[in-house]
Amino acid sequence: MSGAVDRADDQPFRPPQARHDTGTGGSRRGACGRSRRCPRFDPRPLAHPTILSESGGLREAHRRIVLAYSGERAQDGVMRGYDDASYGDGFADVYDDWYHGISDIGATTNTLADLAGDGPVLELGVGTGRLAIPLAATGVEVHGLDSSQAMLDRLAANDSDCIVHPHLGSMIGDLPAGPFSLVFVAYNTFFNLLTEADQQGCFAAVAACLAPDGLFVIEAFVPDPAHDPASALTVRSLTVDRVVLSASTSDPTTQRAEGQYIDITEGGGVKLRPWSIRWATVTQLDEMAAAAGFALAKRWESFDRSPFSPDSPRHVSVYRAPA
Ligand SMILES: C[S@@+](CC[C@H](N)C(=O)[O-])C[C@H]1O[C@@H](n2cnc3c(N)ncnc32)[C@H](O)[C@@H]1O
């Protein structure tokens, strides 16, 4: 739409002002210059819906929405009512529009096809098939697991030749038996597992369905909690008849971040799109991998196989199962 302001740099599962990476592979520090802290919470209750046009504008709205949201948190810190299907069900209708170009599909599928050999391959959190469909088109057998039926419905609609084998379930307890030559989990999706125990459980489940010497590939961001704001409210996109806001919180002590995209349309009201993650450092991932019997075989900065360095904002880690 003419006059639209669209933030192309947002990503699934990232506190908006903590995004150092814009997909261009630049330095993780200082590129965005957005490390500001949020103002203190305003103790007043959430007020009239026209809050955005009142005095104080977005800053005031930020205070009040974060306060209201904080009141809805369960004691264990997980957003109340959030479960394995919440992300997929909340984003399935916009996922391809918002995130189709979030990473280099050609580089990703080339590298995965090289690593997979004769296959078969399993993707955890397959979503709409953004990666699985082009990977399957290279000729390798691809299975895709997802906990959201809404996402699998989008996958089915995108996969008109039915070249991806869909599976509904969780990436801890419902992995197909295999054996697979390669299991991968792309674009921060591993961090959808919200506790260290669940993440460790996923490593164990992957180990159980890999062939001897099989590979487990994780693509994720490198946490940089010192630069993550405790809370943030930003504008994702703005048109004459729609505004998408992003409200998020981040807690370095629990390694948890979560948020909502608040999608407001003139005719359609408000749609909430929740997300929640528990991030892990590369060292923590390596420790979980080792505990499940994996050895780190390779670590790149991205699927284009550029070298990983201490300043890399992202990583692609390749773990090898025992022979
Ligand atoms: C960010 S999307 C990634 C989709 C796809 N891999 C891509 O790169 O475009 C994350 C996907 O993981 C799924 N997911 C979240 N938690 C899950 C879980 N515990 N088990 C299986 N899938 C899960 C969501 O439903 C969603 O489809």
219 CB within 6 A, ligand 1: no
Q: Is 187 helix (H, G, I), strand (E, B) or coil?
A: coil
- Give the pLDDT score at 228: 79
Terminal CA-CA length for the chain: 54
| Residue 93 exposed, middle or buried by CB count within 10 Å (0-12, 13-18, 19+) | middle
User: Does 28 reside within a domain?
Assistant: no
User: Does 52 reside within a domain?
Assistant: no
259 CB within 6 A, ligand 1: no
- Count CA atoms closer than 13 A to 285's CA, side-chain side: 25
Is the four-CA dihedral 195, 192, 273, 39 of positive or negative sign? positive
Q: Which atom, in ligand 1's list, is nearest to the CA of 123?
A: 6
Token digits of residue 251: 């807690």
147 CB within 6 A, ligand 1: yes
Q: What is the DSSP letter of 307?
A: B
Q: Is 70 helix (H, G, I), strand (E, B) or coil?
A: helix
Single-letter code of the amino acid located at 116: A
Q: Are 85 and 157 in contact (CB under 8 A)?
A: no
Residue 168 belongs to what domain range? Answer: 103-222+280-320
User: Does 188 reside within a domain?
Assistant: yes
Q: Is 131 helix (H, G, I), strand (E, B) or coil?
A: coil
- Give the pLDDT score at 76: 54
Give how many domains the chain has, as a whole number.
1
Q: Is 203 helix (H, G, I), strand (E, B) or coil?
A: helix
**Tens-digit pLDDT string for the chain (323 aa):** 333 333 333 555 554 443 332 222 223 332 222 232 222 222 222 222 223 333 334 444 444 444 444 444 444 556 778 988 899 999 999 999 999 999 999 999 999 999 999 989 999 999 999 999 999 999 999 999 999 999 999 999 999 999 999 999 999 999 999 899 999 999 999 999 999 999 999 999 999 999 999 999 999 999 987 787 889 999 999 999 999 999 999 999 999 999 999 999 998 899 999 999 999 999 999 999 999 999 999 999 999 999 999 999 999 999 999 88
Q: What is the phi/psi pair of residue 49, to 5°?
A: -60, -20
User: Does 301 reside within a domain?
Assistant: yes
User: Does 272 reside within a domain?
Assistant: no
Ligand 1 centroid–CA 146 distance in Å is 6
> What's the predicted TM-score (pTM) here?
0.81
User: Does 270 reside within a domain?
Assistant: no
User: Does 206 reside within a domain?
Assistant: yes
Residue 20 neighbours by CB distance under 10 Å: 23
Residue 258 to residue 203: CA distance in whole angstroms? 23
Single-letter code of the amino acid located at 19: R
Q: How far is CA 238 from CA 3, 79, 264, in A?
A: 9, 26, 10
Radius of gyration of the chain (CA): 20
- Give the pLDDT score at 267: 87
Closest residue by Cα to residue 187 from 66, 23, 59, 311: 23
88 CB within 6 A, ligand 1: yes
Ligand 1 centroid–CA 150 distance in Å is 11
- Give the pLDDT score at 165: 98
DSSP 243-290: EEEEEEEEETTTTEEEEEEEEEETTTEEEEEEEEEE---HHHHHHHHH
Residue 90 to residue 148: CA distance in whole angstroms? 9
User: Does 231 reside within a domain?
Assistant: no
200 CB within 6 A, ligand 1: no
Q: What is the CATH number of the domain that holds 189?
A: 3.40.50.150
Q: Is 319 helix (H, G, I), strand (E, B) or coil?
A: strand
79 CB within 6 A, ligand 1: no
